Copies of this chain bind each other. A is one copy, B any other.
Amino acid sequence: MPDKKKYLEMLKRSVEANRLRGFFAQYPEHPKAYPAEAPEKGEKAFRAHLNKDFDELLQGTPEGRAGEEVSPFTSEALGIHYPVYSVETLLENARQARSAWRKEDVEARALILVDALERIKERFFEIAYATMHTTGQGWVMSFQASGPHSNDRALEALAMAYEELTRFPREVDWVKPMGKFEIKVHKSFHPVGKGISLAIACSTFPVWNSVPGIFASLVTGNPVIVKPHPGAVYPLAIVIAELQQAFLAAGHEPKTVQLAVDTPDKLIAKELAENPNVKIIDYTGGNEFGDYLESLKGKEVFTEKAGVNSVIFDSVKNLDAVLQNLAFSVSLYSGQMCTAPQNFYIPESGILENGKRVSYEDMVNRLRDAIYSFARHPKMGPGTLGAIQNERTLKMVQAVDSLGVGLLLTPEAIENPEFANARTCAPSILEVDAESELIREELFGPVILIIKTRDTAHSLQLAHDIAMEKGAITCAAYTVNPEMERMIEEKMEEAFVPVSFNLTGYIWVNQNAAFSDFHVTGGNPAGNASLADPNFVNRRFVWVGHKKLMD
């Protein structure tokens, strides 16, 4: 272990941060906080991998090769070919790796995983390019989301698990007084991992959404098989390669964590998930497959699926600041975030700005103008929008004009000065009434709905009901009325949705910070797990307590 004492301190600091839930970041999000040569080095490493076999994994001789990634920015294939292994090979490797790994000391497991994070840190810039050219995220987001934010979220889960795994004494003497004598029993308490863990990643946030589950399963003593989306393998391949290096350096079997690459014509997620030896599944993606996974028997399944996020307007101090904030939220990664706002509820009588009424029509116009202008702002638009990850999302968004509802902003491509062939689309806006079925559906990508309501109470009721029925991860609310604030908080809480009040400036409803914000509550259909609450780690192992009568 390169620096055991330092790593242990990092871990303990993170345990403390989890408890305090104030601001904490182990890995700074600003690219300039890293060595000056790192960006160039990262870009070079990225270019060096293109059109080559990816040979960094320590998983044995490949049984085949696959790789179908296409950059949403250049529209060109990355040409990286990853090793492919059969489901049988992957499961047998995991089974073999488990017996030594589950017996390894908890602290040793945790420190190996901290070491992995430190190794991953060295590749943040390459991971940024890999993320950008697979997911379509803009460069800054690619760096932050797949680099420091992912590492922080993994460390958060690791620290939460470390705290839980060490919360009971490993050994204790239980001495029961019996009047004239005592009964003495020596007890030992062992956390035992449930078994092979499967992480099924998505194409939009391959690293951020996967690493918490991967690290939580590993530290609780479970080998992990990581099944990336065929369209976004590269960023995860780097993460797994570095994890395997950390295992190797510690004298452990690198195949304790494996990358399971598949192809669209032969997807292996179902076969892996249904195998009786797979006991834990982490999943990010659509509801249909998520619901199927949740229905599998004898598995601990952790899901983040889709939901319908809402914005409730009641009253504001500075409407321009509010609309700028929301224009950014809507544009960020072209609405391809599970936290992006979708349903904007505006009362028919409009809203209050500093006690002055702004009519419904003015609200709609100003919101539309803010979104329109932001996306077309040469300095802000293209970099914030990034690119659309895949053709299917683009086609769905482009089809909004056929929905037969009021179209306030049409989906239009936005020129990206750096990438002439980028797959882009500025946010479009539909105006619908509260009875429309559309407001009860997740519309993935850069499209929002404006919904005219009777009043704020009506907006709230709709946001609540739809969250209960379809799920929701975020709710942005704007009110300067404390009584209304309380009402919104209580009502949305009934639907297990956290509310962000009055956000303006450099903080957005889309963002959840590690060590402070729980990401997804697990209480509504948007997902059954929460990053990273105690359940997120405790459900991966059980406590087995042995006893021995003492002489």
Contact = CB atoms under 8 A, between A and B. Distances in A.
Interface of A: 19-23, 103, 164, 167-169, 172-178, 183, 185, 187, 189-190, 192, 194, 294-295, 297, 485, 489-490, 493-494, 496-507, 513, 516-518, 521-523, 530, 533-535, 538-539, 542-549
Contacts of A20: 169, 172
Nearest to A164: B534
14 contacts: A20-B172, A172-B516, A176-B507, A176-B513, A192-B523, A496-B542, A499-B546, A500-B548, A501-B548, A507-B549, A521-B544, A533-B543, A535-B539, A539-B539
Contact of A542 (B174, B485, B522): B522
B498 A546 contact: yes
A21 B169 contact: yes
Contacts of A546: 489, 493, 498-501
A499 B501 CA distance: 52
Contacts of A167: 19, 534
A142 to B, nearest CB: 20
A179 to B, nearest CB: 8
Contacts of A548: 485, 500-502
4 smallest beta-carbon distances between A and B, as pairs: A523-B542, A501-B548, A521-B542, A500-B547
Contacts of A493: 190, 192, 544, 546
A297 B535 CA distance: 18
Given A506-B183, A523-B542, A545-B517, A176 B23 contact: yes
Contacts of A194: 523
A169 to B, nearest CB: 6
B502 A183 contact: no
B496 A544 contact: yes
A504 B538 contact: no
A2 B200 CA distance: 53
B543 A521 contact: yes
A507 B183 contact: yes
Nearest to A21: B172
Contacts of A496: 192, 542, 544
A479 to B, nearest CB: 10
A297 to B, nearest CB: 7
Contacts of A518: 189, 543-545
Contacts of A534: 164, 167, 534, 538
A341 B140 CA distance: 62
Contact of A533 (B103, B485, B516, B538): B538
A185 B103 CA distance: 43
Contacts of A500: 546-548
Contacts of A516: 172, 174, 187, 545
Contacts of A543: 518, 521, 530, 533
Contacts of A175: 22-23
Contact of A544 (B23, B192, B504, B523): B523
A275 to B, nearest CB: 15
Contacts of A169: 20-21
A535 B535 CA distance: 6
A497 B545 CA distance: 8
A485 B549 CA distance: 13
A544 B497 contact: yes
A318 to B, nearest CB: 11
A321 to B, nearest CB: 10
A507 B185 CA distance: 9
A505 B184 CA distance: 11
A187 B530 CA distance: 17
Contacts of A176: 23, 507, 513
A33 to B, nearest CB: 11
A501 B547 contact: yes
B499 A187 contact: no
A522 B517 CA distance: 29
Contacts of A502: 548-549
Nearest to A171: B21
A489 to B, nearest CB: 6
A543 B529 CA distance: 11
A505 B183 contact: yes
Contacts of A294: 297
B192 A549 contact: no
A485 B183 CA distance: 21
